[in-house]
Structure 1
Amino acid sequence: MLFNSFEFICVFLPLTLAGFFLLGWRQLPRLAVAWLILASLFYYAWWSLWQIGVLAASVFGNYFLARRVGLGEHRKAWLVFGIVANVSALLFFKYANPAYGHVDRWLDLGWNWHHVIMPLGLSFYTFQQVAYLVDAYRTRESERSFLNYCLFVTFFPQLIIGPIVHHREMLPQFADDCVFRPSLANFNAGLPIFFLGLFKKVAIADPIGRYIDPAFAASAAGDSLTLFEAWAAALGYTFQLYFDFSGYADMSIGIARLFGIHLPHNFDSPYQSRSMAELWRRWHMTLMRFMRDYIYIPLGGSRRGPARQQVNLLITMILCGLWHGDGAGWTFFVFGLLHGIVLVGNNLWSRWREVNGIALGRWWDDGVARVLTFLTWCFGLVLFRASTVGSATDIWKGMFGFNGAALPDQVLAFLPFLHGWVEPLRQMPNLAKGTVLGLTEFATLMLLSAVLAFFCRNLHQLSSRQRVLLLMPTFAFAIQGALFAGVPAQFLYFQF
């Protein structure tokens, strides 16, 4: 049941809100919390009933461990056991299939291995609970109410793709009686955020995806993409992922706000960044907060000298890449490694400029730096989308022109100066349906995406009044796309 589906918008969400506030109005807050937990479990079970068992085991196990870590004896041993257990479960579901496959091929064992299915949202709620265990150890405290803890983990707006929330951000809100009463202010704030996020998903991200998917499929099948196809595929995916993920983040925050719950900001116009370090801080902000607080800083952060800082940064980014991966190939490991190298280079460059007192001026910060940052991210995301490192390499070759350049002959008729070095084609089947109309529609979407991503303020920079003014037009476009565009497309981050 997707946020952009008919059954969610018109059935599940209204019924869940009605039951929650009805129980709150009858001054039954514990029943209201229980209702919201049951609704969240129903939402999760909609995908696959067996995955409820994994989620339930994780919730019960970590609640028990947190009590021992926060209040019991041998606290450090319980903490280590809890972290190992959570990470082991995550590694099993992510990497059991390729690991057993490699062992079977190397040793020719002939195992009849049944494919392990990755439970939806496992990466997110595992990290959330690992952070809770560590905080319980540091503060010598743990949540006494199992209902509140269960809602903290299973709250459906953030269960599948985050944000990864800290207990101190969520649990105090459940103790506030105002949460259980409907608020016009919360609806005025939540509905515009939800529908603007829905607009990003159904009006921008999904149409771009339908245009570029054939190009990546052709590359995975062994076809070489030419210059324009490769660049269109890479840029298209860069904007598709941006609006798909930021759309989900907005919808998640908007839905939670309808219940009176404030989720943390998770996406802050990253394509307006001036460096890769800044971009990562503004992209999936709660994940990067987790990586900083629970991996980078415990490794030593910047406390042990510049050389050790760069090693810690490289390790953190490799682990970030592996967290996104599914174990099927090396693409996410290489993605994390390359971004680690880029961030190390970014740190060294910033340090060198600071030591030598070099100020390049606004032309660099507002122009060149932004362009270089975006292009670096665009090149890196090819690994994020490609099925193999070989496929990504071939797309990169196409982006540098090693696979030639081709355009439909109808397009060349309008651009005669390109005839000398561009091969004419009757169609371009790997991109935008191979038609001039398709290419025109794709170019329009890309232009709209660039304007919104590079120059416009995000939802959290807009005032409440401005968001309300945007509500009606985005509501119309979003509902039309969600309800009449056929089967809703899944969010890209569902695979992680």
Structure 2
Amino acid sequence: MLFNSFPFIFLFLPLSLGGYFWIGRLGSLTLSKGWLLLSSLIFYGYWNVVFLPLISISIMVNYLLGNRLHEVRCNQRLSRIFLYFGLLFNIGLIAYYKYTVFLMSWLPPSKLSVWITQLLHPDNIILPLAISFYTFQQISYLVDAYRGVIPNYSLLDYSLFVLFFPQLIAGPIVHHYEVIPQFNRLRNLLFCQKNFAIGCIVFVIGLSKKVLIADSLAGWVTLPFNHAAELSFIEAWTAALSYTYQLYFDFSGYCDMALGLGLMLNVKLPINFNSPYKSTSIVEFWRRWHITLSNFLRDYLYIPLGGNRLGESRRVINLMITMLLGGLWHGAGWTYIAWGGFHGVCLSINHIWKKVGFYLPKQISWLVTFLAVIIGWVIFRAQSLGDAGHILWAMTGIEGILLPGKYRGLVSNLEMFGIRFNNFPSLDYFPGGLESIVILFIVTLWVVFLPNTQELIQKFKPRWWWSLLLGFLAMLTLLSMSRVTEFLYFQF
């Protein structure tokens, strides 16, 4: 079930909220949490009920392992055995469902590869929804249990921690200590007008980002990236910027909706998105983009590898390992690995520059960072490394600046000023021509200078014009939901 669907907004959400607060009037935490858990199971099973047993088995195995780690925490050897078994179980699950086909593409034709194919049946593997997110969430739980920093939670608490529907599908990746104590507060069972109002506002803003902006930009992305070798300079930049903003508004829209839904239920989820395109360094970008994933990679991979404690060379190696695995987490493909490696190189350069005392003016730092992010997104979105190379090469303008056919009349005037153009492109990918440049320029100003949702909410005061504006925005968004589109991060 998708947040941006009529069944969710007009059926599932009213029933789940109404049932939760009606049961909450009885004062029973167990019944209220049970209702939320049932709602979350229905929410997850709506997409494909076949994967309910898988996520249920994953929850049960990790819960039991967590309990064993809690019980034997004084026995270092036994604790490590249980931890390694848990890591192997979780990584094995995600490796089978997400990486089997990719890994088997490396195998040369042989009897062994035929036998493995017959054993694993890769053509029949369907990627379970949210497996990347709930796997990482449970790995963090097991590691914390090994470290002895978790209490002995009940199965109900743990299951709700993993399945809580506002954050289940695409994050944020929450820690047990961030949400389980909130599930056990009696006052959270009571309807709170302030939390509900703010939650609705945040949800509407996020929904409008997804439906009105991200989905509108999708048409400017798919066709150009499918014909990467034939793009002109302007078409390549239009496609790159369109995807840069499509992913931005799609993911920030989801994060807003998740936060809003949590607030409606009196649960405060961690902020996962904080205007990343305002960053003046790649380090800052990763502190603002998918914050909970960045924190997970830092706390459970980069620091255990040694972080920056073993010298500068080791820090670069640790950064590269972390970002390569972070790229692979997003998808089974060389483009994702290359994207992670590219960001690993950028982060390493950033740290080296800072160490030697090299600084750029703020505006230039922003521009360099933003260009690096755009280059990374081209690699990330391209269907192959070859396609990424074609698009990036076209973006350089080395082979000339090509205009769409509808603007051929401008050429003679522009050539008077010494601006030369190659032949016009044979395919008219350019969506809307110069109008697209204006729209993308306005969007750039928006993401760089305007306040984000969290900043708006901090300044929010109930006013009649707020109600009018949000009501109009909600109506426009609902009228624009002609078809249900998945969030981009669902595929990661």
Query: TM-score with structure 1 length normalisation?
Result: 0.91
Equivalent residue runs for 1:133-172 within 5 Å: 133-139=142-148, 141-172=150-181
Task: Report the Cα offset of residue 472 of structure 1.
Answer: 4.1
Q: In structure 1, how many angstroms separate the alpha carbons of the residues matched to 2:461 and 2:276? A: 20
**In the alignment, is residue 421 of structure 1 matched against residue 408 of structure 2?**
no
Seen in structure 2, the aligned counterparts of structure 1 residues 32 and 441 have a Cα distance that, compared at 3 Å, is farther
- Contact 1:197-1:249 within 8 A present in 2 as well: yes
Matched ranges for 1:65-464 at <5 A: 65-72=65-72, 74-103=78-107, 105=109, 109=114, 111=117, 113=121, 114-139=123-148, 141-219=150-228, 223-325=229-331, 327=332, 329-353=333-357, 364-365=361-362, 367-414=363-410, 416-419=412-415, 420-423=419-422, 425=424, 429-432=428-431, 438-439=432-433, 442-464=436-458
Residues 270 and 279, structure 1, Cα contact 8 Å, conserved in 2: yes
- For 1:87, give the aligned amino acid: I
CA shift at 1:80, angstroms? 1.4
Distance change in 2, residues 1:224/1:408 (3 Å): closer
Shift in Å, 1:229: 0.7
CA contact 2:27–2:186 (8 Å) conserved in 1: no
Structure 1 residues 255 and 444: alpha-carbon distance in aligned structure 2, compared to 1, 3 A threshold: farther
Q: 1:369 offset after TM fit, Å?
A: 0.4
Tell me if the contact between 1:482 and 1:488 (Cα under 8 Å) persists in the aligned partners. no
Q: CA deviation at 1:187?
A: 1.2
Q: Which residue matches 2:5?
A: 5
After superposition, the Cα gap between the structure-2 partners of 1:463 and 1:94, relative to the gap in structure 1 and judged at 3 Å, is closer
Cα displacement (A) at 1:93? 1.1
> Which deviations, in whole Å up to 9, do the C-alpha atoms of 1:258-302 show, x marking residues without a partner?
000000011111111110111011100000000000001111111
Question: How far, CA to CA, are the matches of 1:426 and 1:401 in structure 2?
Answer: 14
- In 2 relative to 1, CA 244–478 (structure 1 residues): closer, same or farther, beyond 3 Å? farther
CA contact (8 A) 2:278 2:447 kept: yes
Question: Structure 1 residues 236, 332: closer, same or farther in 2, change over 3 A?
Answer: same
Q: Relative to structure 1, is the Cα distance of residues 24 and 443 closer, same or farther in structure 2, using a 3 angstrom cutoff? A: same
Answer yes or no: is the 8 Å Cα contact 1:121–1:161 preserved in 2.
yes
How far, CA to CA, are the matches of 2:98 and 2:438 in structure 1? 38
One-letter code of the match for 1:71? E
Q: Contact 2:275/2:447 (CA < 8 Å) preserved in 1?
A: yes
Question: Relative to structure 2, which stretch is displaced further, 135-144 or 6-15?
Answer: 135-144
Unaligned runs of 5+ in 1: 433-437
Native 8 Å contact 2:404 2:433 kept in 1: no
Q: Tell me, which stretches of 5 or more residues in structure 2 are unaligned? A: none
Letter in 2 for 1:370: W
Q: How many corresponding residue pairs?
A: 478
Does the Cα contact within 8 Å between 1:256 and 1:263 map onto a contact in 2?
Answer: yes
Measure how far apart 1:139 and its partner are.
2.2
- Corresponding residue SS for 2:403: strand
Shift of 1:225: 0.9
Identity among equivalent positions (%) equals 40
Is 1:300–1:312's contact at 8 Å kept on the other side of the alignment? yes
The corresponding residue for 1:435 is none
When residues 351 and 278 of structure 1 are mapped into structure 2, their CA distance, relative to the original with a 3 A threshold, is same
Name the SS for the 2:142 alignment partner: helix
Offset at residue 347 of structure 1 (A)? 0.6
Q: Distance in 2 between matches of 1:445 and 1:476?
A: 22
1:404 is displaced (CA, Å) by 4.0
DSSP-derived class of the 2:353 partner: helix
Evaluate the alpha carbon distance shift between residue 324 and residue 468 of structure 1 in structure 2; reply closer, same or farther with a 3 A threshold: farther
1:139-188 Cα deviation digits (max 9, x unpaired): 25444311111110000110010000011111110110011111011012
The residue that corresponds to 1:57 in the other structure is 57
Q: Please tell me the residue identity of whatever aligns with 1:124.
A: F
Partner of 2:16: 16
8 Å CA contact 2:320, 2:345 repeated in 1: yes
CA distance in structure 2 between the partners assigned to 1:427 and 1:494 by the alignment: 34
Distance 1:424 1:417, change over 3 A: farther
Given the superposition, is the C-alpha separation of residues 227 and 11 from structure 1 closer, same or farther in structure 2, using an over 3 Å criterion? same
The amino acid across from 1:456 in the alignment is L
Note closer, same or farther for the CA distance 1:414–1:464 as it changes in structure 2 (3 Å cut). Answer: same
Distance 2:355 2:106 in 1: 43
The secondary structure found in structure 2 opposite 1:11 is helix
1:14–1:301 Cα change, 3 Å: same
Q: CA RMSD in A?
A: 2.1
Tell me the secondary structure at the aligned position of residue 36 of structure 1.
helix
Deviations 1:40-78 (A, max 9, x none): 111111111111121111111111110001123622211
The 1:479–1:442 alpha-carbon spacing in structure 2 relative to 1, beyond 3 Å, is farther
Deviation at 1:414, TM superposition (A): 4.9
Deviations 1:76-124 (A, max 9, x none): 2111111111111111111111223443646573846333111111011
Q: Is the 8 A contact 2:86 2:142 kept in 1?
A: yes
* 8 Å CA contact 2:172, 2:292 repeated in 1: yes
Question: How far apart, in 2, do the equivalents of 1:169 and 1:241 lie?
Answer: 27
Distance in 1 of aligned mates of 2:320 and 2:219: 35
**More displaced, 70-79 or 105-114?**
105-114
The code of the aligned residue for 2:345 comes to: I
AA partner of residue 6 (structure 1): F
Distance 1:8 1:390, change over 3 A: same
Instruction: Provide Cα deviations, 1:391-439, integer angstroms capped at 9, x if missing partner.
Output: 111111111124543223433435654345235659853231xxxxx33
